[in-house]
Copies of this chain bind each other. A is one copy, B any other.
Amino acid sequence: MVDEPLRKGEATQARILDAAYSLFMEQGYHGTSMRQIVERAGVTTGGVYNHFASKEEIWVAVFLERHPYRAILPLLREVDSGTLEEYVHSAAQRLVGELNKQQDLLHIMFIELVEFNGAHIPQLFERIAPELRPLVDLLDAHVGELRPIAPPLLARTFLGFFFSYYITEAMMPPAVRALMGDGALDAFVDIYLHGVVAGGEGRGAKDLFTT
């Protein structure tokens, strides 16, 4: 069943999706015309409507099927977990590597937020939810080493800490980036870990909403 050659219609649909994805990442949704999509996909203006009812339907398909989580979740599962510190460092390393390979993976979220006001995000979460189990389990295995933070909050801050690296990277002009050196990612990871792992005693070790 796997690796069977695509049926003709499926191959065409995949070409349309590829073309639309790359154009949306370069120019945004409204900045990309149907003409550009059909041209890059090698189909005719009319032909595309045999596969998608509208331009927005194409976006929805791109958003759900090319979303970063498709690349990120398998990657996070592959990381072999030693200590928590090793896991987080290694996971961050891989995530940044993957997103540098595909520079524009974050753009997909920004386009959804800017040009659709997040209208399709609930749909995305429904798709992702069932795939999160293994990560939740992994988190549970290390929960003893962590400060008492409610799991949803912990997941959110982990995702957020990673965004924080990536978005500040995207926002800096090259001249400012030069000031950072190239160990910035390690610093982000280290600060985050220092922030969430139990240090034994001292200030800041208060209970954090273990609701």
| Chain A interfacial positions (CB closer than 8 Å to B) | 26-31, 85, 107, 109-111, 113-115, 117-118, 121-122, 125, 147, 149-150, 152-153, 156-157, 159-161, 163-165, 167-168, 170-173, 175-176, 179-181, 183-184, 186-188, 190-197, 199-200, 202-206, 208-209, 211
A107 CB to nearest chain B CB (Å): 6
Kindly state the separation between the CA atoms of A181 and B207 in the bound complex, as whole angstroms. Answer: 14
The residue in A171, A173, A199 that gathers the most chain B C-beta atoms within 10 A of its C-beta is A171
**Which B residues touch A191, using CB under 8 A?**
149, 157, 192, 195-196, 208
**Which B residues touch A187, using CB under 8 A?**
149-150, 153, 157, 208-209
Evaluate contact between A188 and B122: CB separation under 8 angstroms.
Answer: no
From the candidates B118, B147, B200, B208, name the one contacting A171 in the complex (CB within 8 A). B118
Evaluate contact between B150 and A157: CB separation under 8 angstroms.
Answer: no
Evaluate contact between A184 and B199: CB separation under 8 angstroms.
Answer: no
**Which B residues touch A161, using CB under 8 A?**
160-161, 164
Return the chain B residue nearest A162 by Cβ.
Answer: B164
The residue in A30, A191, A203 that gathers the most chain B C-beta atoms within 10 A of its C-beta is A191
From the candidates B31, B153, B196, B204, name the one contacting A115 in the complex (CB within 8 A). B31
Whether A109 touches B171, Cβ cut-off 8 Å, given contacts A27-B115, A160-B164, A161-B164, is yes
Evaluate contact between B204 and A197: CB separation under 8 angstroms.
Answer: yes
